[in-house]
Homo-oligomer: A and B are copies of this chain.
């Protein structure tokens, strides 16, 4: 595995649903680039024993963590701690590129 990644070069989108592009994987964690066309969503879900961090690289994101929902832009990081329900959607109008870190790897 290469230890360096250009996140924009790795950002692939899909017309039918948000697309996960893996950048790095180890035994302990993974780092992905999630790509959302306007209107695409990652529906609410829970990881009982893993923490996830989102970082908005480009675009707008509506991020829900537990009972808190915020619409945020580039430069915002968000933590979905283990056992907290979390969801993301792209309210548009542009594409959303989201860096994602999760540990431990579920």
Q: Which of A29, A31, A68 has the most CB of B within 10 A?
A: A29
Known: A4-B78, A77-B7. A104 touches B70 (CB 8 A): no
B77 lies within 8 A of A31 (CB): yes
Interface residues on A, range: 35 or more
Number of copies of this kind of chain in the complex: 2
B7 lies within 8 A of A68 (CB): no
B99 lies within 8 A of A23 (CB): no
A101 lies within 8 A of B101 (CB): yes
A3 lies within 8 A of B81 (CB): yes
| A53 cross-chain contacts in B, Cβ below 8 A | 24, 29, 31, 101
Top 5 A-B pairs, shortest CB-CB distance: A103-B103, A24-B79, A101-B101, A29-B103, A5-B77
